[in-house]
Structure 1
Amino acid sequence: MVAIDPTTLSERDNYKILTGTIIPRPVAFVTTLTENETINAAPFSYFNIVSANPPLVSVAVQRHPNSNEKKDTARNAIQQGEFVVHLGDEYIVEDMNQTAASLPPEESELSHTSLTTIPSDRVKVPSLKEARIRFECTLEHHLEVGGTEEQPACDLLIGRIVAYHIDDALYDEEKGYIRTDLVKPVSRLAGQDYAKLGEIFSIERPS
Structure 2
Amino acid sequence: MLLDPNHLTDLEVYKLLIGLVAPRPIAFVTTLDENGVVNAAPFSFFNALCSDPPLLSISVGRKEGGAYKDTSRNIRRTGEFVVHVTEERLIELINHTSCPYPPGISEVERAGLHTLPSVKVHVPRVAECRVAMECRLHQVLELGNGPDTDLIIGEVVCFHIDDAVIENGKIKLAELGPVGRLAGTEYTKLGERFSLERPTYRGD
Q: Which of 99, 102, 109 is the aligned partner of 1:111?
A: 109
1:45 aligns with 2:40: no
* Total equivalences in the alignment: 200
- Tell me how far apart the structure 1 counterparts of residues 66 and 195 of structure 2 sit (CA, whole Å): 44
1:201 aligns with 2:194: yes
Q: Which of 161, 169, 173 is the aligned partner of 1:176?
A: 169
Letter in 2 for 1:63: R
Letter in 1 for 2:160: H
Aligned partner of residue 181 in structure 1, secondary structure? helix
By how many angstroms is 1:180 displaced?
2.0
- Tell me how far apart the structure 1 counterparts of residues 62 and 10 of structure 2 sit (CA, whole Å): 12
Structure 2 residue aligned with 1:20: 19
Which stretches of structure 1, 4 residues or longer, exceed 3 Å deviation after superposition? none
Aligned partner of residue 6 in structure 2, secondary structure? helix
Letter in 2 for 1:195: T
1:82-109 Cα deviation digits (max 9, x unpaired): 0000010111110100010111111111
By how many angstroms is 1:73 displaced?
0.2
- Tell me how far apart the structure 2 counterparts of residues 194 and 118 of structure 1 sit (CA, whole Å): 28
Q: Give the TM-score, by structure 1 length.
A: 0.95
Q: How many percent of aligned residue pairs carry the same amino acid?
A: 47
Question: Can you give the 5+ residue segments of structure 1 that lack an aligned partner in the other structure?
Answer: none
Q: Which of 80, 83, 87 is the aligned partner of 1:85?
A: 83
Q: Give the TM-score, by structure 2 length.
A: 0.96
1:71 aligns with 2:64: no
Give the alignment's Cα RMSD to 1 decimal: 0.8
Letter in 1 for 2:44: S
1:86-165 alignment, distance < 5 Å: 86-147=84-145, 151-165=146-160
- Tell me how far apart the structure 2 counterparts of residues 68 and 93 of structure 1 sit (CA, whole Å): 29
Letter in 2 for 1:110: V
